[in-house]
Every structure is written in structure tokens, then in C-alpha cells.
Amino acid sequence: MLDTPASDFDFAGAADIAAAVASGRFSAVSVAEATLRRIRERDPVLNSFTAVTEQRALLRAEALDATRARGEPLGPLAGVPFAVKNLFDVAGLPTLAGSKINRDLPPATRDAVLIERLEAAGAVLIGALNMGEYAYDFTGENIHDGPSRNPHDHDRMTGGSSGGSGAAVGGGLVPFCLGSDTNGSIRVPSSLCGIFGLKPTYGRLSRARTFPFVSSLDHLGPFARSARDLALAYDAMQGFDAEDPACAERPVEPVEPLLQRGSDGLRVAVAGGYFKCNSGETCHAIDRVAAALGANRDIEIPQAERARSAAFIVTASEGASLHLGRLRTRAHDFDPAVRDRLIAGALTPAALVVKAQKFRRWYREQVIELFDEVDAILAPATPCTAPLIGQKTFMFGDTELPVRANLGLYTQPISFIGLPVVAVPVPLAPLPIGVQIIAAPWREDIALRLAHALEVEGIVAAMRPAM
Amino acid sequence: MKRKAAAETKRTKRKPLAARKAAQRKNDRDAIDALVAAGAQALGITLDPSWESGVKFNLQLILGHAARVDEFVLPDDAEPAPIFRA
């Protein structure tokens, strides 16, 4: 429970803020005002927000305080400020998706489904967040809005494409936020910014009223500074939604009440082969997490490198298909790095794309079988800690690789078949790095239980950056 | 005549490896150039000449990944997963 004044709760979690608002220790308005003040003070450096919905937030907070004053119950996220990657529809704002082109769109008339669900649980939307153009990015750089900056070193990348999400949560501006993950865009910024990120099972959370990228691979999910806050946000967003054709008809399966079960009885292995760590910090992080969870065996994810290649092709082709009209009429308005990739994707022969989709089904069947032997698999989240903004290559063992295309080389083979993953932050010095906890489809509970157990043991943590 | 053709073949076989690789790379570049020009025209995308090197670089990257997938043998009854259920 918080015992500090509202002005000093800036690294407090969602659960603590909700408890403080529900008990009357803080008003929801005081929390919203302090959050807005913090954004004004710190975001000129972090560059994480592209819009701050100040009036809306204050009105919403006033309504929550009035609800409490009437003695009516508040939701599990009462008064908790949050923000969303700017590909989520926010009523009254054009849905930028990181682009210049979408600035010409009319404002959205209704919020994305996940925003509606979070606000129904008492959360307070505070703004929209910077991102890589059209989500085709692993760096967090944006040619139109400028790069989001890593809260642990402002000269370094946040990772992308949910770069503003990583900066806003890692920098203490909001306790949680939402992003999207097509090939790693939640897990990469989580790793580089030293926070927790959940990419749920494909089809678990509705994508209705968000700007898409690759329908076959798009996921939405939360970022936070604790596993418990991830679970609270995730639980509030679950549920079938017919407006998203990929949303599965699953019951709501709350995870937060299960966290205390910890890691007891769970069989954990480390991904070998393609995922075998390659740099000092990556190996150190995996070793530390594996030791804490008693993961003393390796397991081979078959054909992982080929899976990454297949994800690469599907992404290029589907992404290009989405933007084909804009490539014909407004190609000059794209970020050149995104434009060139999209045009190349449009030229990819269809027969190869279909082959990748066939391989995807084969690969899924092989990987699912691994979960007969284990409950969770550990793998690195990124091949390195945060590169410098503008850095074009990094060393991967003895090989020099381009940053933009390769920061997600460990995340792509996993999202390709929609497995749920929690990225947990290992607080190494001078920079944090993430580890993926991968579970079987629909078993977000297992990944979140393990993340929570690691946090309780002090193995993983979202460290407060020097301000 | 046959003897002459055989000698030609032998000479080709004796071509140094580096030269053969260089020839292959040139063929690949020509193929990419042709694919970019014809594909962009067919799709109605007007390519600014200053974009061509970036587009070709990315297309080569994609085709490299595609080759890795394509070499994997799948049965004829393998189903694609465009509407995917995890």
C-alpha cells in the first residue's frame, strides 16, 4: 500500500494506485494531475507521447471520485492512468500508427475495444504513444515524431515498434500501457527498456478498432513494471469480441488470482540450438533466470531459423498488401526505410508466401508437442542490450548484423505461431535485458506465474532509472 | 564438331570458382533488376530512381529468407494457415 503523497508515486504500480484510490488515500483526480505533471516534466526528453488526453483524463478521474463518493464499488484498476500505442483508436484523435499519412484521417469516433474494457475496470486513459511507422520497426525510431528514448540512457534506443510504450512505462510516466506485437514489438522494447511485457496467445485479445499491420501475426498486449500489473491489465481486457475475426471464443480466464502459486510443479527448459545465447549479457540473463527456476535442461525448438524466415516473408507480403494503395499514391510520405521494405514485400512472389503459411502450420504442430515435456521454455528476448539511437549494425557473436532487421531474431519464431510470452527484465548493469518465458497456447497463466515468482525472488525487476 | 563442343565444355568446367560466383551474382542482380522493374509496373507503383537500391536490397533479403523456406520439403496435402488458430 502506498504511504507517500500523490506527487511522489511516480514509480508506483497499478495495483497500489488502484488500492490507494479505492481506499480514499488518493483521489483519482490527484493521480491524474500528478501523472500529467510528470509527462510535462519528463516527456520532452523521453519523447514517448504523441498526444496527451488531459481533459478527457481529468473528466474521467472526476467521475471515478464521484462514484466512490456515492459509495459505489470501483473496478480493479480504479484511477490507474494508462496510455496506448498510437495505432489504437482513441475517440477524437486520428489513429496515426506512427505515420505522416494517417494524420489526414478523420478523428476516430470510438475507442478501441481494449481501451473500453480497461476504462470499464476503472483505468484512466492519459494519451497516445510514439511508435515506429506502421509498426514495421524494431528500433523505436520515427522519422516524423523523432525517436522515443531509452529511460536508462537517453542516447539509446527503446526498441520498437512500441517504442513510446517502453519509454513511458520504463521512465515512470504511467504504470502500464498497451502496445502491439507482430514480430516482437512488445518483447523487444520490454527487453531494452527493462520492463515486463505480455504478448498473449494469438486470438486472445480483441484487435478491434486498431490500425493493423500483418493480420496473420498481429497481437495486442500490456507493458508494466511488475507481473502482477500485467495480469491485472490482461484480466480486464480478456473476452471474446466478434468485431475481431481472429478473436477466439475463449472464456475469460483470470490470471491475477493464480500468481501466488509460483513456480511449484512447473517444468521449465532453456531453448537450445538457434536460441543458444550469443553475447555476454544475453547468456548472463538466461543463466540467472534458468538457475532460479531450476531449468537445467535444454530443449530444441525445431526449424526455428526457418520459422523466422517464414515470418519475415509473411510480414513483408501482408504488410505490403495493406499499404499497396498508399504506395501507389503517397510513397513519398512514408519513412524511406519502411517504404523500401514495403515495396520489396509487394514484389515477393505469392507462391513463396503460401509456402511460408504452409510451413507455419507444420512448425506449430512440432512446437506444440514440446509442451508435453515442459510447461515453459526460456529464450533470450533480444540479441543485445539497447543500441545507440541511429546505430545501424551490432555484433552478434563474430557477425555484424543490421539492427533494424535483426533485433527481433529471437522473438519472430515464437510469435509466428502465436504462443503466449512474458518478457521479464533482468536488471544487469549498465543496461537491462529481457528473457522470454514461452508457454503453450492459452497458458498465459503459466508464463505470468513464473514471471511473478522470479520477481518475488529478486531475479527480475523493472529498475527505476536515474532521472 | 562433337570434339569441339566437348572441349568447350571442359574449358567452362575449368572456369575458376570465383569467376563462376561472380557470374552467378551478376545473373542474380539482373534477375532482381528485372523483377523490380516489371513488378512495380504491374502493381502501378512509380519507383523514384533513388529508391531502387533500397528496394533491391530488401527484395534480396526477402528472397534469401524465402529460399530457406522453399528448400524445406512439405507434403502435397500440407494446409496453409492464413486463418490461424494457436
Q: Do A328 and B43 touch (CB under 8 A)?
A: yes
Mean of pLDDT values over A236-258: 96
Domain ranges across chain B:
23-69
The count of structural domains within chain A is 1
Which cell goes with A272? 537450445
The dihedral sign for the CA sequence A91, A93, A95, A98: negative
Q: Tell me the chain B residues in contact with residue A360 when contact means C-beta distances shorter than 8 Å.
A: 80-81, 84
Active site residue A185: yes
Say if strands A421-426 and A268-271 run parallel, antiparallel, or are unpaired.
unpaired
Domain assignment of residue A427, given as a range:
6-299+355-456
Residue type, position B75, single letter = P
Q: Check if the beta carbon of residue A373 is closer than 8 Å to that of residue A180.
A: no
Supply the angle between the helices A227-237 and A113-120 in degrees, to the nearest 10: 110
What pLDDT score was predicted for residue B5?
56
In A, minimum Cα distance to B68 occurs at: A306
State how far the Cα of A257 lies from the Cα of A151, in Å rounded to an integer. 31
What is the ipTM score, two decimals? Answer: 0.91
What average pLDDT does chain A have? 96
B46 touches chain A (CB under 8 A): yes
Give the mean model confidence (pLDDT) for residues A328-344: 97
Say which residue the cell 481472429 belongs to.
A246
Q: Does B65 contact A312 at a Cβ distance shorter than 8 Å?
A: yes
Backbone torsions φ then ψ of A198, nearest 5 degrees: -115, 120
pLDDT class of A5 with cuts at 50, 70, 90: low
- Buried b / exposed e across A211-248, counting CB within 10 Å, b at 16+? bbbbbbbbbbbbbbbbbbbbbbbbbbbbbebeebebbb
Give the amino acid at A323: H
Q: By three-state DSSP, how is residue A421 classified?
A: strand
Cα separation of A347 and A3, whole Å?
Answer: 59
Phi, psi of A271 (to 5 degrees): -70, 130
Inter-CA distances, B27 with A52, A141, B23, B30, B49, Å = 53, 36, 6, 5, 21
Using a cut of 0.90, tell me whether the model's pTM lies above it. yes
Residue A309 among the catalytic residues:
no
Residue A3: band (very low, low, confident or very high) from pLDDT cuts 50, 70, 90: very low
The verdict on B69 touching A (C-beta cutoff 8 Å) is yes
pLDDT score of A37: 96
B16 falls in which pLDDT band (50, 70, 90)? confident
Does the pLDDT at position B24 exceed 90?
Answer: no
Test A344 with B55 for CB contact under 8 angstroms.
yes
Query: What's the pLDDT score for residue B84?
Result: 53
Is A329 within a domain?
no
Q: Does residue A320 form part of some domain?
A: no
Residue A71: per-residue pLDDT: 97
Q: Is A303 exposed, middle or buried (0-12, 13-18, 19+ CB in 10 A)?
A: buried
Instruction: Give the residue-averaged pLDDT of A248-259.
Output: 97
Model confidence at A1, pLDDT cuts 50, 70, 90, reads very low
More confident residue, A396 or A61: A61
CATH classification at residue A48: 3.90.1300.10
Catalytic residue flag (residue A7): no
